[in-house]
Amino acid sequence: MTFSLLALSADGSFMAAAGSTRFLAIGSAAPMVVPGVGAVWSQAFTNPQLRFEMIRALRRGESVEQAIATVPLLDEGSAGRQVAVMDGRGSAAVFTGAETAEWHGAISAAGFSVQGNILVGPEVLDAMAAKLSVVPATEDVRQFGERLIGVLQAGQDAGGDQRGRQSAVLLVGRSQWAEGEPESLVIDLRVDDHPDPVPELRRLLDLWVPRA
């Protein structure tokens, strides 16, 4: 029911989770970004608790592969889940349960992952991955956010969610964190209910002003 991404910025300073779906307020249940730790996206027949479990695993020093391998052990309903996790260095892994609705799939590479279910077909993730694979030499956090919204738009233009469109979200945090630095997200923008949520998310980013 969703197409989503986890990504690291060009210089590795920021990590993000972003996605869109035909579901109300996806930002409240699917993504999580914890500065200095990692980013998670839990979708399909969503279990929001798995976000916290993946972050706990990363805090324990587990690799993303080790963390994602625990999903079937943690959740008896894992056959219907799709979960992606990325650490602060850009390593990513994705779990897709055998009962996840078609079309489903995932693509992971250095610095990003894209994943989705109930999509029109593989062309959605192919378009997103192709867009994410083009990394600028430099980008500030706004440019990073703009690039990721462009990736979501590429997924939507390729067909997106079979059922339509309703909500979208963009979360960005620092990939590394030091004592004394703010623990809050740098960007936290959500479109909960809109007939065309990805352009609306772009409009919100245009209005966004960095906080000190």
Spans of all domains in the chain: 2-207
The model's pTM: 0.95
Give the span between the Cα atoms of 100 and 116, in whole angstroms.
10
- For the chain, how big is the Rg over CA atoms in Å? 15
Check residue 212 and give its pLDDT: 59
Bridge partners of residue 44, in order along the sequence: 81
104 and 114 in contact (C-beta within 8 Å)? no
CATH of domain 2-207: 3.60.20.10
Check residue 92 and give its pLDDT: 98
Q: Where are the beta strands (DSSP E) in 70-130?
A: 81-87, 92-96, 105-109, 112-117
Structure tokens at 150: 């462009």
For the chain, what's the residue count?
Answer: 212
Check residue 183 and give its pLDDT: 73
Check residue 177 and give its pLDDT: 80
Structure tokens at 90: 């850009």
Give the span between the Cα atoms of 111 and 119, in whole angstroms.
23
- pLDDT, tens digit only, all 212 positions of the chain: 699 999 999 999 999 999 999 999 999 999 999 999 999 999 999 999 999 999 999 999 999 999 999 999 999 999 999 999 999 999 999 999 999 999 999 999 999 999 999 999 999 999 999 999 999 999 999 999 999 999 999 999 999 888 889 999 999 999 988 777 777 899 999 999 999 999 999 999 999 998 75
